[in-house]
Structure 1
Amino acid sequence: MSKKAPAELNPRTTSYEFLGPPGALLITLGVPFATYALYFGCSEQTGGCPPAIVPANISLALSDPAWWKGLWDTQATLMYLGWYAFCIAAWAILPGDLVTGTTLRTGEKKQYKINAFSTFLLALGLTAGTVYRYGPQSFTFLHDKFVGFITAAILMSVVQGVACYAASFRPGALLALGGNSGNPIYDFYIGRELNPFSYGTFDLKTFNELRPGLILWVLIDVSMVCEQATRRGGFSQVTDSMWLTLIFQTIYVADGLYFEPGIFTQMDITTDGFGFMLSVGDLAWVPFVYCLQARFLVFSPIVMGPLFAAAVVAVNMTGYYIFRTANAEKNDFRNGKNPKNLEFMTTESGSKLLTSGWWGRSRHPNYFGDLLMSLAWSFPTAFGTPITYFYVLYFLVLLIHRQRRDDEMCEKKYGKDWKKYMKLVPYRIIPYVY
């Protein structure tokens, strides 16, 4: 255990991200608003994607107490709480290996139980059994109660954000270096404590990162497939666009869950605190925004045909190949392996940075693969509306922001060696372009 004094162990944050407290407040209010807006702006219930919007109608709806009451669904809330409890129970009951995380400032290393992939398989197995036994109409409730589930997830995010912020003031809490500004609005949003509600091998931050929201995203996609099957007369009538959307996104989620140990070196886990930013992102934004394409295809079914479908599959598989092989190169190298004999440079601190393979083509080649996959997820919706391409634009902004954060941290860590590295690997995300 570190002998450092509390002030030395938890220094005051001296710089802001996201434009400081005003930006944090804007995003704190904006993310729930945007989650609802993407539903009402692309929905069968409101008349299309986008609907024919008349300002007077919007004003009338917002002034109607019945509209606000419609955001709440008691049954959906109870079901969401049951889902969250299921994820906790699966974590506790299912077997899993123990993985050691990075060294904390206290000198300690946390151990994490990993069984996210087996939780995913259990959830899919129970879902498949239900649909096989009772038909596709038995699993359309996520589609039918979509708004109620959004509200439940946002409320869970708020409760967790408030609880984690309050708990961070207890004696002995290890704070995040970027979340101890003293401004409650900013610290609540960014996350004040590094690992709040962490007991034994359970850690709330890593639990939320992979389980409740990410797995729910796939289950929502399945519900959209079931809704389309119910409307069109069975699974044999589900469109190729819907099947591809489900397959692509399921593969992406399964990859993240199967390679669960990879998250323990990511900035979200090693550096960021757990506050409203991560809670609302993990629990509400991911499952209820990332399923937009599948939700659109329920009320706007599109038949792609073999040629268009083959082209989209090629884009997705190219993106996935880059994403997976780049991550494999990085993980092998971090674990002391170099099966491809990749070139690298050694910094003055003794750290090694890859300068060949995918990591010689750009500093974040896995982000490039991510972007290609995001395009492939949107192409099945064709080109009749820009709203279904929201995820591509959002993801581009998100990844550029992450890349800049990563580069700033590396520049502080490696100093002049980082400048040498940038000359060897000049491209940030897209090789030969950016």
Structure 2
Amino acid sequence: METNGLRQRSPTSKNYGSTNGNVVITEAGRAADKRLDQHETFEFGGPWGVAAIITGFPVLMYYLWICLWFYDGKLVYPTSVDDIQPFLLKMWGHIQKDASPNLYAWEVYSGFFFFQLFIAWVLPGFKQEGLPVPSLGYKTLMYNCNALQCWYTTIVVSFVLHWTGVFRLTQIIDNYGHLMTVGMIYGFGVSFITYFHAVATKTTIRMSGNFVYDFFMGAALNPRLGPVDLKMWAEVRIPWVIVFYLAVSGACKQYDTLGYVTPNMLFMCLATGLYINACAKGEECIPQTWDMYHEKWGFMVIFWNFAGVPFSYVYSVVYMASHDPSAYRFSTLGYVVIYTTLLTAYYIWDTSMAQKSHFKMQTQGVLNFRRTFPQLPWHTVENPTFIQTAHGNRLLTSGWWRYSRKPNYVADFTMSFTWGAIIGTATFIPYFYPVFFITVLVHRCSRDFERCAIKYGKDWERYCEVVKYKFIPGIY
């Protein structure tokens, strides 16, 4: 059987209920969705666990930055009980002096924040319909996907500011600690505002009744400011743009101090540039993801976008900007290997994400997809195979998705590993990103697979028989 070029792997269950495009939401599917939109269990260790994350992660970010910037990338710690107090006072002294929320950091971070919000509001974009949202009665929301226009506008504006001397990009890396603190303040502040606004407007969903836990997980599902979907805006426009400009700032600093830019720093400019460009050019894929139609917008996501990602994913840049290149220089073969690994992983990540998103669009009757730079071969699977579920949704079983249930995660992790490996063994702190990232991915997969098991029942078991491996084909 074929529907708009889609081929089933197994017979279709009897479907009835409401429809959206080619998607048929059955009564069984409605019941499963209703259950998924109720709070049943605590995640992340419950209230005490999320309280530890809320307080502990900012402390960890400060600690790793201090070790990189002031202690040659070595992990420092008190050697005796008597050293604990002096050690803590020394750490606090570094934060007070070099990570204070000074006026410069407020001006730069706030200017960037509101500039991104403004251009997201006013620039035209590609209109993309999201997936049916169960909590909204299976209504679909429209998204103004103008991240690509905003991205290139940001590049032009920043180039002009740097060239004219109004704002030198070199200053970003020099004020890393100060900017990180302001980013943290924004993360906490926006989280509180969003939480209390959802409570005041009675737009909360899936609440546990515990304030700390609900603050962490979020209270609102689809917060918007005018035409701007805040959740999608924050996912693309803030973290990855900052990450890119930290790498560019590191390159500018090297050029100013050394007279050239190392291949290692150029690698980070390429890696971060590819990532933000992919997020921007493929923004219309984001409304098709779990992040948009199920994940709430709380501290977990907000703080991570405003401070966690931009100031803990590019420790390699921080190290290279403050150390002699001889500490992390590679052989020619080494550079060939790491650049090739990055580009290969990027290709798999980009095309696998596009394949999954385009498949979901096909099920809604969308057959013509947005074309943006760069268009990579195999971004859409022709005549994809799938398993039709009793819920009404379809589970893709072709393209990259026939080899693994999460091929995009494998590629994403591989890229993250290269971000640390680009400085070799000079310091292990930049490997925090891939280590933390694989932990997050494994946990996220367990949440996703558990949700799918509830949502699809025996159809999920059938899917797992067809796509046997969770991550790496033939291994796991």
Q: In the alignment, which residue of structure 2 is the partner of 1:22?
A: 48
Query: What are the residue-to-residue correspondences of 1:313-392 with 2, within 5 Å?
Result: 313-336=339-362, 339-392=381-434
Rounded Cα–Cα distance in structure 1 between residues aligned with 2:421 and 2:410: 17
Q: In the alignment, which residue of structure 2 is the partner of 1:275?
A: 298
Rounded Cα–Cα distance in structure 2 between residues aligned with 1:160 and 1:383: 37
Displacement after TM superposition at 1:25 (Å): 0.3
Q: Summarize the Cα distance change of 1:420–1:51 in structure 2 as closer, same or farther, 3 Å threshold.
A: closer
Displacement after TM superposition at 1:305 (Å): 3.6
Instruction: Name the SS of the counterpart of 1:345 in structure 2.
Output: strand
Q: How many residues align?
A: 417
Instruction: Name the SS of the counterpart of 2:141 in structure 1.
Output: strand
Matching residue's letter, 2:45: L
Rounded Cα–Cα distance in structure 2 between residues aligned with 1:307 and 1:58: 45
Q: In the alignment, which residue of structure 1 is the partner of 2:220?
A: 193
Rounded Cα–Cα distance in structure 2 between residues aligned with 1:392 and 1:47: 22
**Stretch moving more, 92-101 or 202-211:** 92-101
Q: In the alignment, which residue of structure 2 is the partner of 1:141?
A: 171
Give the one of 71, 77, 86 matched to 1:47: 71
Rounded Cα–Cα distance in structure 2 between residues aligned with 1:247 and 1:138: 20
Rounded Cα–Cα distance in structure 2 between residues aligned with 1:343 and 1:17: 34
Give the one of 166, 189, 192 matched to 2:196: 166
Asked if structure 2 preserves the Cα contact closer than 8 Å seen for 1:318 and 1:372, the reply is no
Instruction: Name the SS of the counterpart of 1:17 in structure 2.
Output: coil
Give the one of 126, 130, 134 matched to 1:97: 126
Q: Summarize the Cα distance change of 1:60–1:97 in structure 2 as closer, same or farther, 3 Å threshold.
A: same
Q: In the alignment, which residue of structure 1 is the partner of 2:110?
A: 81
Larger RCO, structures 1/2 (Cα 8 Å, 6+ apart) = 2
Q: In the alignment, which residue of structure 2 is the partner of 1:3?
A: none
Matching residue's letter, 2:384: L
Displacement after TM superposition at 1:19 (Å): 1.1
Deviations 1:117-140 (A, max 9, x none): 2211122222223444449x9222
Rounded Cα–Cα distance in structure 1 between residues aligned with 2:421 and 2:95: 34
Q: In the alignment, which residue of structure 2 is the partner of 1:128?
A: 159
Q: In the alignment, which residue of structure 2 is the partner of 1:116?
A: 147
Displacement after TM superposition at 1:61 (Å): 5.5
Asked if structure 1 preserves the Cα contact closer than 8 Å seen for 2:126 and 2:284, the reply is no
Identity %: 29
Rounded Cα–Cα distance in structure 1 between residues aligned with 2:37 and 2:290: 19
Give the one of 288, 304, 310 matched to 2:330: 304
Asked if structure 2 preserves the Cα contact closer than 8 Å seen for 1:246 and 1:294, the reply is no
Query: What are the residue-to-residue correspondences of 1:193-212 with 2, within 5 Å?
Result: 193-196=220-223, 198-212=224-238
Q: For structure 1, which runs of at least 5 residues remain unmatched after alignment?
A: 1-7
Q: Summarize the Cα distance change of 1:386–1:340 in structure 2 as closer, same or farther, 3 Å threshold.
A: same
Q: Summarize the Cα distance change of 1:164–1:370 in structure 2 as closer, same or farther, 3 Å threshold.
A: same
Matching residue's letter, 1:154: M
Q: In the alignment, which residue of structure 2 is the partner of 1:395?
A: 437
Rounded Cα–Cα distance in structure 1 between residues aligned with 2:272 and 2:262: 16
Rounded Cα–Cα distance in structure 2 between residues aligned with 1:125 and 1:58: 49
- TM-score, length-scaled by structure 1: 0.90
Rounded Cα–Cα distance in structure 1 between residues aligned with 2:217 and 2:245: 28
- TM-score, length-scaled by structure 2: 0.82
Instruction: Name the SS of the counterpart of 2:128 in structure 1.
Output: strand
Q: In the alignment, which residue of structure 1 is the partner of 2:372?
A: none
Displacement after TM superposition at 1:68 (Å): 4.7
Displacement after TM superposition at 1:86 (Å): 0.8
Asked if structure 2 preserves the Cα contact closer than 8 Å seen for 1:143 and 1:223, the reply is yes
Deviations 1:336-389 (A, max 9, x none): 267433332222234322223311111000111111211222222012322121
Asked if structure 1 preserves the Cα contact closer than 8 Å seen for 2:183 and 2:307, the reply is yes
Deviations 1:161-197 (A, max 9, x none): 1111111222441x333xx00000000011011123x
Matching residue's letter, 1:283: F
Rounded Cα–Cα distance in structure 2 between residues aligned with 1:203 and 1:341: 32
Matching residue's letter, 1:358: W
Rounded Cα–Cα distance in structure 2 between residues aligned with 1:423 and 1:12: 29
Give the one of 284, 288, 294 matched to 1:265: 288
Q: In the alignment, which residue of structure 2 is the partner of 1:4?
A: none
Deviations 1:259-292 (A, max 9, x none): 0111112222211211111111000011111121
Instruction: Name the SS of the counterpart of 1:41 in structure 2.
Output: helix
Q: In the alignment, which residue of structure 1 is the partner of 2:15?
A: none
Rounded Cα–Cα distance in structure 1 between residues aligned with 2:194 and 2:353: 31
Rounded Cα–Cα distance in structure 2 between residues aligned with 1:371 and 1:69: 34
The Cα RMSD (Å) is: 2.3
Instruction: Name the SS of the counterpart of 1:109 in structure 2.
Output: coil
Matching residue's letter, 1:14: E
**Stretch moving more, 330-339 or 107-116:** 330-339
Rounded Cα–Cα distance in structure 2 between residues aligned with 1:321 and 1:200: 35
Query: What are the residue-to-residue correspondences of 1:403-422 with 2, within 5 Å?
Result: 403-422=445-464
Matching residue's letter, 2:190: Q
Instruction: Name the SS of the counterpart of 1:113 in structure 2.
Output: strand
Instruction: Name the SS of the counterpart of 1:377 in structure 2.
Output: helix
Q: For structure 2, which runs of at least 5 residues remain unmatched after alignment?
A: 1-33, 368-379
Query: What are the residue-to-residue correspondences of 1:53-72 with 2, within 5 Å?
Result: 53-55=77-79, 59-60=85-86, 62-63=88-89, 66-70=93-97, 71-72=99-100
Deviations 1:373-417 (A, max 9, x none): 112222220123221211111111111111111111111111011
Displacement after TM superposition at 1:327 (Å): 1.7
Q: Summarize the Cα distance change of 1:118–1:57 in structure 2 as closer, same or farther, 3 Å threshold.
A: farther
Query: What are the residue-to-residue correspondences of 1:232-247 with 2, within 5 Å?
Result: 232-233=258-259, 237-247=260-270
Rounded Cα–Cα distance in structure 2 between residues aligned with 1:42 and 1:18: 29
Matching residue's letter, 1:228: Q
Matching residue's letter, 1:184: F
Q: In the alignment, which residue of structure 2 is the partner of 1:5?
A: none
